[in-house]
Amino acid sequence: MTEIDMLSALEPIVGRRAADLLSEQLDIATVGDLVRHYPRRYVDRGKLTDIAGLEIGEHATLVAQVEKATLRDMRQRRGKLLNVVIRDEKGATLDCTFFNGHKVNHYIHPGVRAVFSGKVGVFNKKLQLTHPQFEALDEADEVRPFLSVYPATGKLGSQMIARCVRQVLDVLDDPTDPLPPLVRNREGLAELGRALRRIHVPESEADIHAARNRLVWDEAMGVQLALALRRQATGARPAAACPPKPGGLLDAFDAALPFTLTAGQHAVGAEISADLAREHPMNRLVQGDVGAGKTVIALRAMLQVLDSGRQAAMLAPTEVLAAQHARSLRALLGPLAAAGELGAAEQATRVTLLTGSLGAKARRQALLDAQSGAAGIVVGTHALIQEHVGFADLGLVVVDEQHRFGVEQRDALRGRGEQAPHMLVMTATPIPRTVAMTVYGDLEVSALKELPRGRSPIATSVVPLAEKPAWFASVWRRVREEVAAGHQVYVVCPRVGGDTAAKEDPDADLVDLDDPDIGADSDDVASRRPPQAVLDVAPKLEGEGFLPGLRLGVLHGKLPPDEKDTVMRAFERGELDVLVATTVIEVGVDVPNATGIVILDAERFGLSQLHQLRGRVGRGSAPGVCLLVTEAPAGTTARERLDAVAGTTDGFELARLDLELRREGDVLGAMQSGRRSGLRLLSLLRHEEIIAKAQVYAGHIVADDPGLRRHPGLAALVGATVGDEERAAYLDKV
């Protein structure tokens, strides 16, 4: 046989049938794929239960021998039942019943020894295991202190995988360790070969722990090297240096600013200003809670770029927000934005709105302004990049509310041209440290901690309709009180409604109701009725409804763009008392006179999303109120999540909770492409320290060996993490 390495095919080692199954069922093709298919859990034989000691209701795992197996017809249904009696080493017996008898029949017959696990129940006054999981044992298993249980499928059981793994480990020489000895020694990490053997065939719990720890490091290094390479690739491109120009637009703007910048705005502004002055592109993320005042920061950055004779583009996730940004930038700039108009300031520029749905004429003009350079600032949705709008000289791209944009879109924004624009990304979603180090690891991060002074507290309450149905009426009484006091209120619904089609608001970022992690135990609520819809709720409030005499507006992504704009402006001007809307208002909408927000079916929204929505109020001097209306019963996790939102206004805390509740894979998945995810063990919650250290090592290694030529093993790790294509993009250019 030729030498076996991680890239070898499996068939010569495990045989044709097993190799086919592995490839078909689990997409495992090579030796490397298989040894990186780690056990999901282990059965510690020292901790197995005896049959004699079983108790009703407990979840038991035991090793026993099949004594009798009888196949019967079921009385009520089609199919066959398999009644099995098993006996443990101490001689005690137990009944087990399998409902898919005709299938398991082939594996379970007298004499077979197996691990059985399941919940202990009672039938005919005797204890029994109903439909337990079982794993037949072979001789090799009998002497092992731990049995490895693999992620498996119906056709390819865990024991069969275990056998293939052992066959492979028997013939595989220890692979070359990709981690530099320096890292391994300093962090006390096992060698790769040993770790791979131990994770599959451990002798002790300490083995499992050490093996996993080492393999987590591989994944963390893969991620951090990929990010360090990405930073290197984007940061190395030339960019136009835009140093501050005294006496320019920025100075004029600062002189006219009606408020003083907070210390945080000053500090972040200085970081950005220094970045812009360099000949390589800025890649900076500004993170600041809702209302922290990020727009002014972005505008000042744009003005610095304009002062160097270049243009700036600002991208927003929705048309509503793009239109609002254009308005508020013009308002902030005043005469400085009135180029070509009467009374304009001498250096004035122009702010142009360019969205996908402009009328043909307005669109042509906007495109022309971008192309000629007449528009210093172009505001739009990401249609702006998708449609390859031509700029005379684009120096800076500002992306607002980043959490709607993925890594790939970020790359598209950087463009492929000779010179890359500077990039400033702004998000109000607080980012837990590990996410900042991974998903946003290609960006430098500035945090804007304090809020401008004069912000008001927001009181958040859960309105639990399951227990207090009568409170529904009080919600609307409270809304009337806010309006009577001269304020305005948002009412948010999860759906647009109005038709039977399941098509949702294209602009709204709704919780995926099919997502088992989020919808989970609100299912019982969901099954009773569809979630509240804007077009159903509004008529119930109007006229003779809960809010008689109040001026109501309706806003959602299905409205034609100019109507959205009209409604939003009317609300901004105080011509509407109540705005019934989907989450289109989630990000960035800024109406200081709005003091109340009612969120219906609140359990339908993610934690960070609720925090964002709540951030729409309390922006002026009057205190805000946020009512989270839900039918989810007390004691469900849906209710716990809402209580968490009501319990804290700390966005960081909520973001962390959100991360715990979301599938981490989705977060990490955002940075991966390629056939399979290389990340199996790495957790953003549990491995914060490892991720942080790996980031430092990766930075040093890439600075020292930019093409990873002296570290071929690490280059392979990068490929395993982000796919070979991306790896090649980073490494082959250097």
Angle at Cα 164 formed by Cα 98 and Cα 117, nearest 5°?
Answer: 25
* Chain centre to alpha carbon of residue 126: 48
Q: Does residue 494 bind Mg ion (CB under 5 A)?
A: no
Residue 64 near residue 106, CB atoms below 8 Å: no
Out of 214, 284, 294, 558, which residue is the one contacting ligand ADP (CB under 6 A)? 294
> Should residue 351 be labelled a site residue for ligand ADP when binding is judged by CB under 6 A?
no
Taking the C-alpha atoms of residue 468 and residue 248, their distance in angstroms, rounded to an integer, is 60
452 near ligand ADP, judged by CB under 6 A? yes
Taking CB under 6 A as the criterion, the residue among 240, 428, 489, 708 binding ligand ADP is 428
Least distance (Å) between residue 595 CB and ligand ADP: 15
Which amino acid is residue 99, in one-letter code?
Answer: F
How far apart (Å, rounded) are the C-alpha atoms in residues 675 and 78?
A: 41
Residue 291 within binding range of ligand ADP, rule CB under 6 A: yes
235 Cβ contact partners less than 8 Å away, ≥ 6 residues apart: 280, 281, 283
Of 615, 634, 635, the C-alpha closest to 626 is 615
* Near ligand ADP by CB under 6 A: residue from 8, 148, 224, 262: 262
Q: Are 494 and 609 in contact (CB under 8 A)?
A: no
Coil, strand or helix: which one is 93? strand
Q: Most distant CA pair in the chain: distance in Å?
A: 99
Three-state helix/strand/coil letters over 266-280: HHHHHHHHHHHCCCC
Looking at the Cβ atoms of 492 and 717, the one nearer to Mg ion is: 492
The answer to whether 322 contacts ligand ADP (rule: CB under 6 A) is no
CB contact set of 440 (below 8 Å; sequence gap of 6+): 285, 402, 425, 431
495 binds ligand ADP (CB under 6 A): no
Residue found by looking up tokens 């959490």 in the block: 403
CB nearer to ligand ADP: pick between 297 and 690: 297
Tell me which of ligand ADP, Mg ion, none is bound by residue 452, counting a contact when its beta carbon lies within the kind-specific cut-off of 5 to 8 angstroms: ligand ADP
588 binds Mg ion (CB under 5 A): yes
Helix (H, G, I), strand (E, B) or coil at 133: strand
Name which of 265 and 438 has its Cβ closer to ligand ADP.
Answer: 265
Q: What are phi and psi of 655, to 5 degrees?
A: -65, -35
Find which of Mg ion, ligand ADP, none residue 265 binds, CB within 5 to 8 Å per kind: ligand ADP
296 lies in the binding site for ligand ADP (CB under 6 A):
yes
**Nearest-approach distance from CB 484 to ligand ADP, in angstroms:** 25
Radius of gyration of the chain (CA): 31
Interface residue with ligand ADP, options 265, 355, 522, 721 (CB under 6 A):
265
Burial class (CB in 10 A: 0-12, 13-18, 19+), 280: middle
Cα distance between residue 70 and residue 86, in whole Å: 12
Candidates 39, 101, 178, 288: give the one binding ligand ADP (CB under 6 A): 288
Question: Could you tell me the smallest distance in angstroms from the CB atom of residue 613 to Mg ion?
Answer: 14
Binding span for ligand ADP by CB under 6 A among 149-157, 259-267, 544-552, 572-580 = 259-267
Please report, as residue ranges, which positions from 670 to 709 form the binding site for Mg ion (by CB under 5 A): none
Q: Percent helix, strand and coil across the chain, each rounded to 5? A: 40, 20, 40
Query: Under the criterion CB under 6 A, does residue 590 sit at the interface with ligand ADP?
Result: yes
Closer residue to Mg ion in complex, CB, 66/584: 584
Selected range binding ligand ADP among 169-177, 257-265, 361-369, 465-473, rule: CB under 6 A: 257-265
**Residues 645-653: contacts with CB under 8 Å, at least 24 apart:** 645/460, 645/607, 645/610, 645/611, 645/614, 646/460, 646/461, 646/462, 649/457, 649/458, 649/460, 649/611, 649/614, 651/289, 651/290, 651/428, 651/429, 651/430, 651/608, 651/611, 652/430, 652/432
The partner in contact with residue 262, picked from Mg ion, ligand ADP, none with C-beta cut-offs of 5 to 8 angstroms by kind, is ligand ADP
We find the least distance from the C-beta atom of residue 189 to Mg ion, in angstroms, to be 43
How many residues form the binding site for Mg ion (CB under 5 A)?
1
- Least distance CB 457 / Mg ion (angstroms): 20
Site for ligand ADP in 597-626 (CB under 6 A): none
Contact flag: residue 261 with ligand ADP (CB under 6 A): yes
Residue 167 burial (CB < 10 Å; 0-12/13-18/19+)? middle
Euclidean distance between CA atoms 567 and 551, whole angstroms: 12
CB of 267 to ligand ADP, least distance (A): 12
Residue nearest to ligand ADP (CB): 293
Residue 430 touching ligand ADP (CB under 6 A): no
Of 401 and 601, nearer to Mg ion (C-beta) is 401
Nearer to ligand ADP, 294 or 711 (CB): 294
Lookup: tokens for 183: 């890292």
Can you tell me which of 287, 295, 532, 721 binds ligand ADP, judged by CB under 6 A?
Answer: 295
The residue range among 196-204, 309-317, 587-595, 723-731 that interacts with Mg ion, by the rule CB under 5 A, is: 587-595
From 100-108, 286-294, 406-414, 700-708, give the range in contact with ligand ADP by CB under 6 A: 286-294
As given in the structure block, the two tokens for residue 344 are 């304009």
For residue 317, state whether it binds Mg ion (rule: CB under 5 A). Answer: no
Binding region for Mg ion (CB under 5 A) out of 336-344, 351-359, 492-500, 584-592: 584-592
Q: Helices in 573-662 by DSSP H: which ranges?
A: 607-614, 637-647, 651-661
Site for ligand ADP contains 568 (CB under 6 A): no
- According to DSSP, the β-strands at 80-87 and 93-98 are antiparallel
- Our CA angle for 435, 438, 442, nearest 5°, is 120
Tell me, residue by residue from 214 to 243, as one string, x for binding to Mg ion by CB under 5 A and - for no binding. ------------------------------
Which residue ranges make up the site for ligand ADP (CB under 6 A)? Answer: 259, 261-262, 265, 288, 290-296, 428, 452, 588, 590
Which residue ranges make up the site for Mg ion (CB under 5 A)? Answer: 588
